Structure 1
Amino acid sequence: MSERAIDLMKPQMQGLLAKHLRFHIVGAFPASLGVAAFCKFAVAKPRKKAYVDFYRNYDSMGDFEEMKKAGIFQNAK
């Protein structure tokens, strides 16, 4: 047998899946928390604030009257 064949390591066959899962779960958990925090603060909070700001001064009857004058409603007189 040559000397090079002795230096090669055997591939790991047992516990390979568990080793890879441990490694990837450690990275996936903080990544998912980061994405969730980003969605909350970059999407959900501004959207809720926009709804609150819109409905704070919204006049539904005035909007209805404008649409009625424009002829959008056919049955409203």
Structure 2
Amino acid sequence: MSLLPKPAVMRNLLQRRLKFHLPMGFTLGLILALAYKYGVSEPRKQTYADFYKQYDAVKEFNAMREAGVFESVRPSGE
């Protein structure tokens, strides 16, 4: 009866796989983070900046007061 040889494929399998998958994972993560930053975050910040350049809080407050949104603030006509 002869002994079966050990399978060489399993030896250091994790290290061989990590040599490929670890840098690939970091690279993909970095690419996705940059894509989110410049595809979603920066346009959103610019949209908010554009909105608040023309936003007048006092005018908005007076419009809501006249519409009766607030219970504790009377419209200026009363």
User: Aligning the two structures, in what range does the TM-score lie when normalised by the shorter sequence?
Assistant: 0.7 to 0.9
For structure 1, which runs of at least 5 residues remain unmatched after alignment?
Answer: 1-9
Identical counterparts, % of pairs: 37
- How many aligned positions are there? 68
Mapping for residues 31-42 of structure 1, pairs under 5 Å = 31-42=28-39
User: CA separation in 1, counterparts of 2:23 and 2:57?
Assistant: 51
Mapping for residues 9-28 of structure 1, pairs under 5 Å = 10-28=7-25
For structure 2, which runs of at least 5 residues remain unmatched after alignment?
Answer: 1-6
Shift of 1:11: 4.3
Give the CA RMSD over aligned residues. 1.1
Shift of 1:30: 1.4
Deviations 1:16-55 (A, max 9, x none): 1111111101211211111011011001100110111011
Shift of 1:14: 2.1
Which segment drifts farther, 26-35 or 56-65?
Answer: 26-35
Could you tell me which residue of structure 2 aligns to residue 29 of structure 1?
A: 26
The structure 1 segments of at least 4 consecutive aligned residues displaced by more than 6 Å after TM superposition are none
TM-score normalized with structure 2 length: 0.79
